[in-house]
Structures are given as structure tokens and as C-alpha cells.
Structure 1
Amino acid sequence: MTKSQPPHQTSADATDSAHHHPAGTEPQTIARRYEEALRRCVEEDSEAGLMAAYSLAREALPEDIQLTEIMDIHFSASQALLVDHGHSQQCRDQIESFVVEFLSVYDMALKGYKTTVPRLLQEVADRQKAEAELRQASAQLAAQRDTLDKLVADRTRDLLKKTEVLDKTLDHLRQANREQAEFTYAISHDLKSPSNTITMLSDELEISLGEHLDTDAAELLALIRMTSVRMGRLVDDVLAYSRCLDHQAPLGRVDLNGVLHDILEDLRFDIIRSGATITMADVPSIMGDPMQVKLLFQNLISNAIKYCSPGRPPRVLITAKIQPTRVRVTVSDNGIGIAPQHFERIFTLFQRLHTYDTYPGSGIGLALCKRIAANLGGELSLTSRQGVGSSFSIALKRFVD
């Protein structure tokens, strides 16, 4: 402090002489506040002055005020105070305490700043790197999403085209089924009339010839009549099957108990002739078409009576396993049974396992049952042991009030 200046030169003037900060900038404010705080510390001798030094030091650092500027500010302010207080020792001690406090805080803040700034810069760099990687990942995801969207769109178009083709094919199949049903019905109906005519002419011929009809001729007429009756039954079965090919009757409540009792009444002659025993459990009402339901169970029960073992009276058991929404009805018998290799074959049109003389039939009954089961939303299943018996089972929708 040996350098002399005019008595009342301000610290702002000293700062401007060392560094060229524009007028009104923060260094000038710091210089003015430094001079005021130093004067209050010297003249009042209070802790408030030292606290002001602490605050000023922390404020000076972020404003990029250099240490040389601080020393210039201090020199100007201290010289003015020494002149005013006659260079007293007390004044010098107070000035020294103030500047030591200021420089200590400034040094600690500067060290913290120097260690903090690199860490912050590294954090910023890491953040920027993470953001760049995130942007790159987002771009890759966007590209993958666009690719996936394109694949989905292409797949959707393919599926729509295939669906359109399938719809057209289904329409063609439905049309073919309708035409087949109409054709079958027309042919069967046309065949029914000649069959009836043959039977009628056979009867007329037998009546006309009367006692002149010899044994051979009578046997021939009986064969003709039997063949005509067989043909009539075949035509009736074909007609029944053709009606079910495209039958889409609305399903309603069907009293299955009533239907089964009606069937047993219709089959009374066959039951009495064969000595059959029919045991029937109580079954609930179902959803179905009465005509198709009757055809289904009439064929199953009739077959159970017909395909009996020689010398063993038929025993037919009708059971029902009731479920919440469906009922599984099973028709079981003690007949001749079916070998496993024939399970699929018996559901095919006109497929017979026995000669007509042994077990008469058209070979349509079980095919008709399978078709009706499909119409009713069920599937006809079979379990059988050859020589022991067979069980035909179908799950039907229950009628719920």
C-alpha cells in the first residue's frame, strides 16, 4: 500500500483503469459495494462488515471479476479510508481482516467452482450423449414401426384378398349345395312315381291273373314288388337327406322327451317283432328343428333295433348327460357292433357293411344323422366294440327359459 492516489478516488475509477468494463456493469457495482462494506466494517467495527465481505466474494466469482481487479478495488477503497482515519493501526487491522475474509471466501468459492464446473460439464456431455443415443434409438424405432406398419398393411391386404376369395368360394359352395339339393330332390321325386307305378302294376297283374298265376310268376311278382318297395324307401331316404343339405330352419324349443316317445310309438311294430327293450332317461328340452331332431333319433333308435345279434333280443338305452348349456344324448345298444376301421366309412352315403338281405337299408341313415347333427350345431360321435354293441352320442344346445 505504498502507492499514493488522490484522497477521494473511488474504487470504480480504479477498476476502469485496470479493466475496461462498460459503464453500469456488475464490476462497477461490486466495486461500489466493496468500498461501502469496507468503510462500514472499519467505522462500525461490526460482524456485519465481515458478512458483507463473504457475500461480495460469492457474488464476484460468477461475474468473472479477476483477482487483479479485486486487488485494485481493495487498494482504492483502503487508501481512501486510511486518509480519512489518519493511517491508524486500528483502521489498518480492520482493513486487513476484511480483505482476508473476502479473499478466503473467494478462494474457497473459486476452488468449488473449478471442481464443480468440470463435473457439470461432464454431466452435460453425458446427458447430450444420452439424448443423442435416445434420438438414434427413437429414429430406429420409428423406422422399425414404419416397416412393421407396412408389413401389417401388406398382410391385411393379403388377408382381405384371401377373405374375399374365400367368401366367393363359400358363396359358390352354397350355391352348389342348393343346386345339388334341388337336383337330388327333383330326381328323387321323379323316381318316386315310377316306383309307385311298378308296385301298383304288380298288384294289378297279380289280381288280373288270379288263379292262372303259376308259382314261378308269383315269385317273380313278389321280387318285383319287394324291389319296388326297396326302391321307394331308398327314394324316401334320399329325399330326406336332400332336404337337410341346405336346411337352415330357425332353431327353437324342442320337447325331446315328447319326440322320443313319438318315435317309439312309430317303431312299435319293430319293437314288438324283435322283442326289443327300450330304456329311456328323462331328457331336457333342447334347441333344434323338430323335423330334423325326429329324423336324427329315429334313425339311431331304428338302427339299434335292426342291427341286433342273432338270438339276442335288442336292448336300447337312451341316456342324457346334462351340462349348463348343453345336453349330451347317447343311444346305446347290445347289437353286433362296428369294427374301428369302419367308423368313418359308415357315415358316408350309400356305404353298407352288410348285404341287403342280412340287414335291409339304403346306406343313407347315418350320413343323414351326421348332417343333421352339423345343422343342429353338434357332432355325432361313436364308440363301439364288435359283438358287444355301439353307442352314438351327440351334444345338443339346451333350451334355457
Structure 2
Amino acid sequence: MVVLNREKLKNVCYLLCNHQAEILDVLMDDYGLVDKNNLPISFRSIIAMGSMGKAADLWKEIVDKGFASNYELYVQKENEVPQALQFSAGTLGNKIWIIAAPHNDTMEKMLSELMHINNEQQNLIRSAKKEISRIKKTKPSEFDAYDEISRVNNELINVQRKLVKQNEEILYLNRKLSETNKAIEHFAYTVSHDLKEPLRMVKSFMGLLKKKYEYQLDEKAQQYIYFAIDGAERMERLITDLLEYSRVGRLNVPKEKTDVNEVLDNVLKLNRSLINELGAGIHYPKLPVIECQRVAIQQLFHNLIGNSLKYRKPDVVPEITITCEAQKKYWEFSIKDNGRGIALENHKLIFDLFRRVHEESEESGSGMGLAICKKIVNEHGGDIWVESEIGAGSTFYFTLEK
């Protein structure tokens, strides 16, 4: 059975009424015109005073012809400005359906959906008639065709009503989720700002303490100051990364045509000082133009290339090679290095939050870089994984949906 597709239909009202112009059920009501707890109510109760005459004409045409369309009526909620909607209506058994939408194109979509539903119902009813007719020839006393057809039709209408209401509940939950995400975003920003401020004070005053009393403090005191400043800096990086992780996928940034070559140029400029210091070689061919969230993809390449530079072998010049292959439904990128490598048992763990597999190393980090990469890739409909061995370098692969 075909049901109304709520993803395609926005800002609509779909009512079931009796022939006495009373609203019996509300299948869709994006305007909140009808109080479902007080049904049945008069159809006239949702119509603005200036449209009462047209509403009477609409109802007369329904009763006389069984169908009416393209009536512009003003609807009004209590203490709100009236709003113009396009109305169409028709008979459905002993009921009358009424739909309203702000534009003709939305109305046409609804009518098209309703025609599909009606056709499907009629097909099922015809099938039921044939089956009943066949059985009736062998056992005529056991079946009443009219009752059976009515039962099937009522079941179809009830299923349709339930599905529409479930869709309304899903849309409501989606709206609540969106509101919650905005609240979380605001909370994350506020918390990160409030936490960073005292950390900056710790760093600042510890720096002043070291500068002013450096030659009056013994080695132990100097070490304490170093630990305090280092701890504050690591905490600040962790807060920044947590905020970045919370933002991925919740800012609704539209995708745009992006030249990956330009993205890599920007990433290399950001890392130019370290690349020149190490004499690192970074190689890549002409890369494609793709549909993506530009800033997020730049963050992705920045994190992966930064890791290749950070976890290099001692006394070995880093060599990084970037490639891309076009598959049928996605782009597959790879970033290969000649670094320390990653043990097999850690290939999946490294993408978890706060996971660091080079704990013995002196490099700073929050353990969130690859978790952020995974979230960015997942938001682009792709996957990310690594192939690596200790001492043999690593190759990170990720896919992005076309």
C-alpha cells in the first residue's frame, strides 16, 4: 500500500470530516489548526471570518459534485494573523477528505499521493472481490461479500491513518532532536570558553612566575612550573578538540564543489614550517573536484598528514604519498607514509575517542584527531581504515560518497 510521503510534503493539513461539516480526524496538521483532544469540531472553526462565504461554496461543491479544488481560504488560529491556503476536497465512502497547502505544487503532490492511495485501495478491493467470489461459489453461506469488502477497506484506511500519525511523530522527534543539538552546541561553546579562561590564567601566571623568579628557584621548583604549564596546554588542546568533535555533523553546512588540490595546498601551507624543518616530501597527482563540506575535508587531511609528520621514524625523512581512485559511487583516497607504523591490534582502536597508541612518545596530543576524522568521513557517507605494520609505515584509506 502507498502512504503519504511526509518527507516530500511540508506545511500541509489533511483532515477527515463527515457530511455535517465536522472534523472527525486529523491525519496531518503542520499549522496546529485543530485541537485533536476536542474532536469532533466544526470545519468552520478553523476558517477566518472573511472566508466563510467561500468555505460554504467549497462545501456545496463537494456535496453536489463529490470533489472541489483550488479554493483559497484564510485559516486562523486564536490570536494569530490569518494565513491563506489552497484547499481541495472530495468524498471517501461516507467521509469527506480535505487537504490544504500554501502552494499549488504542494497541493498537486498531495493529490497525486492520494490518487495513488485510492488506486491501491481499489486494486486490493477488486482482488478481495475476486477471491470472495471464488470462495462464495464453493461455500456461499460462509461469506458476505459486502461486509468483507467493507472490512478490507476500513483496515486499509486504519493502516494509512496509523502510518501517517507515526510519520508525524517521527517529524516531531526530529524537530526536538534538532533543538537539542542546537542546545548542545551552545553548551559546548560556553563550557569550552569558560574552561579555557582559567587555563589561560594558569599558563600566564606560571609563565610570569618562571620569568621573574627563574634564577631563585631550584631545579625541583622549575620542574613543577613546567608540569603546570604543560598540563594546562594539554587540557586546552583537549577542550578545543572536544569542541571540534561535537561540531562535526551538527552545523548543517551544505556541500559544495571543492577542488581537493586547493584543499591540500591550504593544509601544506598550515604545516609549511614543520615540513621545511623535516625536509618532508609530500607527493600527490592531480586530484578531483568533489562535492563535500570544504572546511571539514580540510580538517580531515590536516589531521592525517599531521599524524604522518608527527609519528615519523627518528632520523628518517618523512615521505607522504596521497592518491585518489574514482569508484562507481564514491571516491577512495589514501595517505601513505614511511613512519613508525601501527600494531595490528590497534588498527580499529585508534579511531576511538582519547585513544593514543604511541604513549611512550614525546609528541603531544589529545587522542581525538582520528576520532574527528572518522566522524567527518561518516558524515560524508564513507568509511575510514588503516593498513600498517610496526616499522613499515601506515596507509590510511577513506571513502567519500559522490
Please say whether Structure 1 and Structure 2 have the same fold, judged by a TM-score greater than 0.5. yes
Check the 8 A contact 2:202/2:232 in 1, yes or no: yes
Residue 177 of structure 1 aligns to a residue whose secondary structure is helix
Distance 2:251 2:315 in 1: 41
Deviation at 1:233, TM superposition (A): 1.7
The 5 A counterparts of 1:41-56 are none
Q: Which residues of structure 1 form unaligned runs of 5+?
A: 1-131
Deviation at 1:265, TM superposition (A): 2.1
Amino acid at match of 1:366: L
Check the 8 A contact 2:257/2:292 in 1, yes or no: yes
Check the 8 A contact 1:199/1:225 in 2, yes or no: yes
Q: Which residues of structure 2 form unaligned runs of 5+?
A: 1-132
Distance 2:334 2:155 in 1: 50
220-229 or 307-316, larger mean C-alpha shift:
307-316
1:350 aligns with 2:350: no
Q: Which of 201, 215, 236 is the matching residue for 2:219?
A: 215
CA 1:273–1:231 in structure 2 vs 1: closer, same or farther (change >3 Å)?
farther
Corresponding position of 1:205: 209
Deviation at 1:264, TM superposition (A): 1.4
Corresponding position of 1:302: 306
Corresponding position of 2:386: 383
Check the 8 A contact 1:286/1:397 in 2, yes or no: no
1:167 aligns with 2:160: no
Corresponding position of 1:78: none
Distance 1:339 1:142 in 2: 72
Amino acid at match of 2:248: C
CA 1:168–1:348 in structure 2 vs 1: closer, same or farther (change >3 Å)?
farther
Residue 361 of structure 1 aligns to a residue whose secondary structure is coil
Deviation at 1:363, TM superposition (A): 1.6
Corresponding position of 1:396: 400
Check the 8 A contact 2:383/2:400 in 1, yes or no: no
The normalised TM-score by structure 2 is: 0.57
User: Cα RMSD over matched residues?
Assistant: 3.2
Structure ranking higher in helix proportion: 1
Distance 1:317 1:234 in 2: 29
Check the 8 A contact 1:347/1:366 in 2, yes or no: yes
Q: Deviations over 1:118-154 (max 9, x none)?
A: xxxxxxxxxxxxxx96984998998776665455444
Amino acid at match of 1:384: E
Check the 8 A contact 2:388/2:395 in 1, yes or no: no
Deviation at 1:213, TM superposition (A): 2.9
Distance 1:133 1:234 in 2: 73
Check the 8 A contact 2:312/2:338 in 1, yes or no: yes
1:366 aligns with 2:354: no
Q: Which of 189, 196, 203 is the matching residue for 1:192?
A: 196
Structure 1 stretches (4+) deviating beyond 6 angstroms? 132-135, 137-145
Residue 372 of structure 2 aligns to a residue whose secondary structure is helix
Distance 1:369 1:384 in 2: 16
Check the 8 A contact 2:384/2:396 in 1, yes or no: yes
Aligned length: 266
Distance 1:321 1:364 in 2: 27
Distance 2:151 2:317 in 1: 73
Check the 8 A contact 2:334/2:396 in 1, yes or no: yes
Amino acid at match of 2:381: G
Identity of aligned residues (%): 30
Amino acid at match of 1:382: W
The normalised TM-score by structure 1 is: 0.57
Amino acid at match of 1:386: E
Deviation at 1:295, TM superposition (A): 1.0
Q: Deviations over 1:322-344 (max 9, x none)?
A: 35775322222233444455444
Deviation at 1:302, TM superposition (A): 0.9
CA 1:157–1:356 in structure 2 vs 1: closer, same or farther (change >3 Å)?
farther
Distance 1:208 1:279 in 2: 47
Distance 1:214 1:284 in 2: 58
1:243 aligns with 2:243: no
Distance 2:280 2:149 in 1: 72
Distance 2:216 2:245 in 1: 43
Amino acid at match of 1:175: E
Distance 2:270 2:197 in 1: 25
Residue 329 of structure 1 aligns to a residue whose secondary structure is strand
CA 1:210–1:165 in structure 2 vs 1: closer, same or farther (change >3 Å)?
same
Distance 1:359 1:264 in 2: 20
Residue 248 of structure 2 aligns to a residue whose secondary structure is helix
